[in-house]
Amino acid sequence: MSNIPRKFVAEPFEYHQEIELRIDSLTNLGIGLGRIDGWVVMVPFALPGELIKAKVYRNRPNYSDADLVEVLEPASERIEPVCKLFGECGGCQYQHMSYDAQLAWKKQQVTEGLERIGGIKVEVHDPIGSPKQFGYRSKLTPHYPKRTPGEFPIGFHRVGTRSQMIDVYNCPIATDEINEALPEARNRVRNEKGKKKGGTLLMRHTLEGVTSKHSDIVSEKVGDLVINFNAGDFFQNNPFALPELVRYVLAEASNSKTTSLVDAYCGSGLFALSAASHFDQVAGVEVSQRAIEWARANAAANHMENVRFIAGQAEAIFEGLEFDGSSTAMIIDPPRSGCDEAFIRQLIDFAPVRLVYVSCDPATQARDLKMLTEDGGYKILKVQPFDLFPQTRHIENVVTLDKA
């Protein structure tokens, strides 16, 4: 075949060879995994238990990649996707699966990740689902390539590629308000003069409506708090599920031993400000000076007098804190990459009696938990996933630990 990729390795399957196999499980990327004579084959959009026909397009050293051609025996959990672009657009992985099944698989993936990466065997509670499974996402960031005359795609990467874009004119997991504003924003990008580079279109829906300007000052209400921040800054993107997550995290941080709270990676201050009425004193720590400025402004706007925010340095993140670790709880909510080793070492030295670790990536969380339990003397009390990202492979996970 003349169109065979130059670097294609024709073992154990020929290029575009069609095979039949039974799918055994899902990977943490949401990809179906099956075996033929012990050889692993990865097939996106195939579900566990299904007998499928697939077409191989790559043989790797330990497994093969294949496209789903036909579902010969569908799983009972298979449903019709809402989005017409599902299977082409790389934004969602689970729209073809019932919501109960999504939650069950996310629980299993958290369990397996803790054991495989962290060496931790512990009970994982059933995930707390999102009140909305569609129309929940309050931030959308479609991408576009180098601009060319006329039409060009504004959307997300095609499944399995880093360079091909799918044109997304409507996204069912985004809020209705974002979808209403999207056509005008797409037209504006296409008609901008003098710009040829690719980029990202911000669509942020907050109390003020929908904006595409990163510098706009926007706000979200969580419980009784109103939090202000710049539209381009990080803030949780499921406002419907966020209040329950915050309530749970604060309940886990509070116990008879804790009178003080440290909110590490505090951002614009959500957890710290929400905790003000639960603790005698609260401190938020963050390396971003702009985030600290927003946190301080939010504390003033919400009349929080027992909360202070510290712009920490990476090498001395807790310098200036006068709290006693034996009566202090700490919330850590790092980026997807998790905590670096220097931070964890400083945390272990500070020795808060209670830890609540919030993570959007259970894999990096499991890595960090291994260090906290083996080197820091912490014991895991509870593991509670929250599904802030329905229809996708992502899951927020909250782990509660005590100093042993």
Q: Whole-angstrom Cα distance, residue 195 to residue 181?
A: 22
β-pair type (328-332, 307-311):
unpaired
pLDDT surpassing 90 at residue 83: yes
β-pair type (199-200, 143-144):
antiparallel
Please report the pLDDT score of residue 92 as a whole number: 96
Beta-bridge partner residues of 206: 209
Provide the CB-side half-sphere exposure for 287 (13 A, CA). 9
Sequence ranges of the domains in the chain: 1-78, 101-132+220-403, 139-218
Task: Clarify whether 266 is annotated catalytic.
Answer: no
Please report the pLDDT score of residue 194 as a whole number: 67
For 215, counting Cβ atoms within 10 Å of its Cβ (0-12 exposed, 13-18 middle, 19+ buried), the class is exposed
Token pair 């904006």 is at which residue? Answer: 211
pLDDT surpassing 90 at residue 148: no
Confidence of residue 338 (pLDDT cuts 50, 70, 90): very high
Q: Quick one: CA torsion of 371, 375, 381, 382, rounded to 10 degrees?
A: 0
Residue 265 annotated as part of some ligand binding site: yes
Cα–Cα nearest to 352, from 267, 251, 268, 254:
254
Residue 151 annotated as part of some ligand binding site: no
Cα–Cα nearest to 43, from 76, 12, 61, 18:
18
Token pair 């990676």 is at which residue? Answer: 265
pLDDT surpassing 70 at residue 13: yes
Structure token digits, residue 260: 């003080």
1-78: which CATH number, 2.115.10.20, 3.30.1280.10, 3.30.365.10, 2.40.50.140?
2.40.50.140
Q: Whole-angstrom Cα distance, residue 195 to residue 219?
A: 30
β-pair type (354-359, 328-332):
parallel
Q: Whole-angstrom Cα distance, residue 321 to residue 310?
A: 9
Cα maximum dimension of the chain: 72
Q: Whole-angstrom Cα distance, residue 204 to residue 212?
A: 6
pLDDT tens for each residue of 353-387: 999 999 999 999 999 999 999 999 999 999 999 99
Tell me the CATH architecture of domain 101-132+220-403.
Answer: 3-Layer(aba) Sandwich (3.40)
Q: Whole-angstrom Cα distance, residue 352 to residue 331?
A: 10
β-pair type (260-264, 225-230):
unpaired
Please report the pLDDT score of residue 57 as a whole number: 94
pLDDT tens for each residue of 163-186: 889 999 999 999 999 999 999 999
Please report the pLDDT score of residue 1 as a whole number: 52
pLDDT tens for each residue of 227-286: 999 999 999 999 999 999 999 999 999 988 899 999 999 999 999 999 999 999 999 999
Cα–Cα nearest to 212, from 166, 191, 181, 253:
181
Question: Which pTM value belongs to this model?
Answer: 0.94
Q: Whole-angstrom Cα distance, residue 307 to residue 323?
A: 13
Residue 236 annotated as part of some ligand binding site: yes
Residue 99 annotated as part of some ligand binding site: no
Mean pLDDT score of the chain, rounded to an integer? Answer: 94
Choosing from 83, 89, 171, 360, the catalytic residue is 360
1-78 and 101-132+220-403: identical CATH topology: no
Q: Whole-angstrom Cα distance, residue 210 to residue 212?
A: 7
Cα–Cα nearest to 295, from 266, 258, 324:
266
